[in-house]
Amino acid sequence: MTEVHLEHVALWARDLERLRAFYVSALGGRSGPPYANPRTGFRSYFVAFGGGARLELMSRSGAPMSERPEGDVQGYAHVAFRLGSRAAVDALTAELEAAGVAVLGRPRVTGDGYYEAVVADPEGNRIELVE
């Protein structure tokens, strides 16, 4: 089996800049540049911490994100696992689907440059499998 590494955890934010400032100033994170998709109103920052772990802080103007069934845009969004290659993402996605795991998003390159697939755990939590 491919060795997996926790890549990042993502949180929805009501006040993206305030939340970013907190993780940088209070917890010593290093903020990456902002990402914005003007078409969807989505904005995010990755904040890096020691050991390679990162936190993705996200916001979206307009309609609530479907990832939050209760309609709130704050809190947990997904956990991402780095697999090391596109082939590994493709293979694990196929293996999980064959085992009956729900595939919520087929492997693709996202707007912010990730090659990823999205699956659901047994309780419906979103998991990103990234290159």
What domains are there in the chain, each with its CATH number?
5-130 (3.10.180.10)
pLDDT at 71: 55
Q: Is 81:9 a contact under the CB 8 Å cutoff?
A: no
3-state secondary structure (DSSP) of residue 30: strand
Distance, CA of 109 to CA of 127 (rounded, Å): 16
| Cα–Cα separations (whole angstroms), residue 11 to 8, 29, 59, 65 | 10, 15, 9, 12
The helix or strand, by DSSP H or E, that contains position 1, with its residue range, turns out to be none
pLDDT at 69: 44
Q: Which parts of the chain sit beneath pLDDT 70?
A: 62-75
- Give the residue from 118, 117, 8 showing the smallest Cα distance to 56: 8
pLDDT at 72: 56
